Amino acid sequence: MMTRSRKVIALLFGLMLALVLTSCGRVNNNQDSWPTLQKRGRIIVGLDDSFVPMGFRAKNGDLQGFDIDLANAVGKKLNLKMDFQTIDWNMKETELKNHTIDLIWNGYTVNPERESKVLFSKTYLNNRQILVSLKKNKINNFKDMQGKVLGVQNGSSGQSDLDGQPKLLKQYIKNQSPILYENFNEAFIDLNAGRIQGLLIDRVYADYYIAHQQDKNAYNKDTGSFAPEHFAVGMRKSDVELKHKIDGALEALYADGTVQKISQKWFGQDDTVPIK
């Protein structure tokens, strides 16, 4: 029979082992990832792989887009491979915090809500939220959405703008509540089918989507009153050295004209923000 002292020792040992195992399972969000990434030789980039033209799948399944090209160019500057991982965009900050990914890089808009959660690189591209509708519905401004159904992507900057400034658009829509979509592809399907009458969406996506439609004149685009936005790379708050490295690479790529060339390739114009 085990004596009382042995039972106590066994119990303490079990508690110590449990604490060790728990600490091993934890991720360290207070440590800069740069040394680890250098040893690993690659950076895991989280993205929504349906966000044209920033990061999306070609017909053969390969990833392509502005952010894919730019991320790969940064990777070459850092002598690191960029591994792209598709994520649920609504869970992007959680994936980053849990170290499932190292960067959020896919048309990621800088705003105060996100700045409280992540560390941003320098901004590199202009964008804004616009209202897209079918021309036949005669929606020419936000007020014309009175009583009509609006769609927006879940977890997007459009949703943040809509909720953060309800008097601009939200007050007019049906039930003052939008239909939430996992991606803009699904939202455009519903817009074209008449299940929603308006779609609040990133300008870069809307311009690219409409330009590749058979009837380009079937849509109205209203810029409304939402402020201009800028895209940047998101990383953990502790990744100060990683931010320094990415900012340096972005500056060099802007200085040699690479960022501008990628913009011309995907947008037909220079939409970049000066990176200095």
* Average pLDDT of the residues in 242-270: 97
Domains in the chain: boundaries: 34-126+230-267, 129-227
* Average pLDDT of the residues in 55-64: 96
Scanning 194-273, the segments in alpha helix (DSSP H) are 203-211, 240-255, 258-267
Residue pair 55/45 in contact by the 8 Å Cβ criterion: no
CA distance 102 to 45: 6
Residue pair 32/102 in contact by the 8 Å Cβ criterion: no
pLDDT in tens, 183-201: 999 999 999 999 999 999 9
* Average pLDDT of the residues in 53-71: 97
Residue pair 242/32 in contact by the 8 Å Cβ criterion: yes
Look up the CATH number of domain 34-126+230-267: 3.40.190.10
- At residue 124, the 3 state secondary structure works out as coil
* CA 219-221-227 angle, 5° bins: 160
Given this chain, do its domains 34-126+230-267 and 129-227 carry the same CATH topology?
yes
- At residue 243, the 3 state secondary structure works out as helix
129-227, CATH topology level = D-Maltodextrin-Binding Protein; domain 2 (3.40.190)
Q: Which of 3-12, 106-115, 131-140 is predicted least confidently?
A: 3-12
